[in-house]
Chains A and B, each alone.
Chain A
Amino acid sequence: MSYKEQWFGNIRADILSGIVVALALIPEAIAFSIIAGVDPMVGLYASFSIAVIIAFVGGRPAMISAATGAMALAMVTLVRDHGLDYLLAATILTGVLQVIFGFLKIARFMKFIPRAVMIGFVNSLAILIFMAQVPFIFGINMTTYIFVGVTLAIVYILPRFFTAIPAPLIAILVLSGIVMYTGIDMQNVGSLGTITQSLPTFFIPNVPFNLETLQIIFPTALALSIIGLLESLLTASILDDATETDSDKNQEARGQGIANFITGFFGGMAGCAMIGQSGINVQSGGRGRLSTFTAGVVLIFLIIVLGNWVVQIPMPVLAGIMVMVCIGTFDWGSFKYMVTAPKSDAIVMLLTVVVVVYTHDLSKGVLAGVLLSAILFAAKISKVEVRNKGLNADASNVYTVHGQLFFASSQDFVSAFDAIEPAERIIIDFSDAAIWDDSGVGAIDRVMGRLQSKAESIEITGLNPSSEKLVKTLATYTNSEENASQH
């Protein structure tokens, strides 16, 4: 599909779905700003700017990128300790890093991230977003509980009968109206920040340009760039599948970088693709770049026109909508997965969740999960087994080797031959084994050495051609073997 078709191949449906997404984006952008500890405008500007830019430079048409919970959670500490300007600087640096990752073709590394880690990623994301809502829900008063409850009832029951307007928006309209009409005293968006009814403007973050600043923002920027790419590429795969089309993942990585880079200069926080919103877009008929563009433009238009009303959104309603987002984000199949998946996968998933919930940093959890699964994988494939097939008719004792012979399994392989019975001829059959490296060859060599005293002749069979080549070139025993077989 040409770039022009990606824009204008689906105009009517793209504009309609873009409007639906814009409506659904507003409460999330505000809520994620509050999680990050910044003014709602930082998230709203980010959502506008990222959506509009990614519409042009992204690699996955119809994917919605904006301010997200995963990114907001990773910037909490930086904002608290150093303030907004450092966050904007970190956002710009995140963009630079992501563009570099894009040019390094980061997408191909995605396949090395085990699904257990990705499941842990979405689960811990859901848990963290929920934890961020706790102060707005629990221990305030009865009215708060009622408002949260009514919000949840509206967002879950209403779509059964009516889907033209997103249910969260209806919850906001109805409940804000009730609060304004009855004058109930309740925390609202306005008590946590201000809404500016203007377009974002270009400015350079007010930070000193020195090494110290870099040291402050780099760890956050690195975490943000990893989290952003992870969620964006996962979302892209989901959309690829849902729309039966392909996307350019490396272009998407670069696009995310460009979007964050520019957004930082316009007072927006770093963002990435959103699984939930992209799903809403596709289910509403969005297929092209125009849908993402429309979502961004309509969002900022609504804020400029309705800004005075947005501050009236009661916090319990916003928290209720976030609870819905958590429930949608959490992978409820995980409980079954814990039982049916291999134990090692279940442990990796749990470790990812525990590390994220403990450190409040998704990137650390992913790193821990990937490391553990790499170790477990190595442990799993490093099991090499030697079985004795017993004596053949010609008095040769046959041993078969099963598994992968490499640096992690070579020790076990050698010690498996420690206690074998002496025999006239010993045959070691490698038909069900593969030799990967010098350690494997060395191990064969050592075994041959040890067996010299236990057998008159030793024969190796069943090596596949590449293993045989490796053994021929590297092992020292082959000479004596050839000599032995010559007589």
Chain B
Amino acid sequence: MYEKILVAADGSEHSKRAVQEAVKMAKTNPEAKVTLLYVVDYGKARNEILHTQSPDELHLERRKHLQPLEDIFHSTGVQFETKTLHGTPGPTIVKHANETGYDVVFIGSRGLNALQEMVLGSVSHKVAKRVEAPVIIVK
């Protein structure tokens, strides 16, 4: 049975569906606990700072990404914790997943920025390749 479940999310529609799938799996095991991982992208830190007047506004903007995802957990009663890390999304997710050791990892197939995917390749693909646990890519 899957007990330690990681779902990496960025607030996009795809990541929302990833959370929903993670919840589905968690429901099958009362012992299951889901970690909701949100990575604040280094590459976007500059633009986020430029477009917010204060660190508090930035904090609120990021909460807005996470809130709908947390609501999914609250409404289903699945045990979860939210974790925010800073770094480049792909490697940061991989590092956290491998260091902590999860039974399964969920990730949405496409994040917020299409341009980055074109230039740098897909984050979910990298994660699937490098995470040691089974990875479920949700589209």
By a beta-carbon cutoff of 8 Å, the part of chain A in contact with chain B is 111, 114-115, 118-119, 122, 156, 160, 234, 237-238, 240-244, 275, 279, 282-283, 331, 333, 337
**Cβ distance A242 to chain B, nearest Cβ, rounded Å:** 4
CB atoms of B53 and A115 under 8 A apart: yes
Of all chain A residues, the one with the shortest Cβ separation from B88 is A283
B45 within 8 Å of A (CB atoms): yes
> B45 contacts A241, CB within 8 Å?
yes
B48 within 8 A of A: yes
8 contacts across the A-B interface (CB closer than 8 A):
A115-B52, A115-B53, A119-B50, A119-B51, A237-B49, A241-B45, A244-B86, A331-B47
Q: Are A337 and B46 in contact (CB under 8 A)?
A: no
- 18 additional A-B pairs beyond A115-B52, A238-B45, beta carbons within 8 Å, are A115-B50, A118-B50, A119-B50, A160-B119, A234-B50, A238-B49, A241-B40, A241-B48, A241-B49, A241-B55, A241-B58, A242-B42, A242-B45, A242-B86, A243-B86, A331-B47, A333-B50, A337-B51
Chain A residues with CB under 8 A of B49: 234, 237-238, 241
Chain B contact residues: over half helix, strand or loop, or mixed?
helix
Tell me the complex Cα distance, A308–B40, Å. 43
Residues of A within 8 A of B121 (CB): 160
Residue tally, chain B, CB below 8 Å to A? 20
Q: Answer whether residue B54 sits at the interface, using C-beta atoms and an 8 A cutoff.
A: yes
Check A122 against B42 for contact (C-beta < 8 Å): no
Assembled-state Cα–Cα distance A156/B51 (Å): 25
Complex Cα gap A282–B42 (Å)? 8
Q: Mark B52-67, 1 if CB is under 8 A from A, else 0.
A: 1111001000000000
The closest CB in chain B to the CB of A111 belongs to: B54
**Distance A178 CA – B132 CA, assembled complex (angstroms):** 44
- Chain B residues near A (Cβ < 8 Å): 40, 42-43, 45-55, 58, 86, 88, 119-121
A-B contact count (CB 8 A): 51
CA distance A333 to B113 in the complex (A): 12
CA distance A331 to B49 in the complex (A): 11
Residues from chain B with a CB closer than 8 A to the CB of A282 are 42
Q: How far is B57's CA from A111's CA once the two chains are assembled, in angstroms?
A: 12
- Between B46, B53, B120, B121, the greatest number of chain A beta carbons within 10 A of the residue's beta carbon is seen for B46
Residues of B within 8 A of A241 (CB): 40, 45, 48-49, 55, 58, 86
Q: By the criterion CB–CB under 8 Å, are B119 and A333 in contact?
A: no
From A114, A241, A275, name the one whose CB has the most chain B CB atoms within 10 angstroms.
Answer: A241
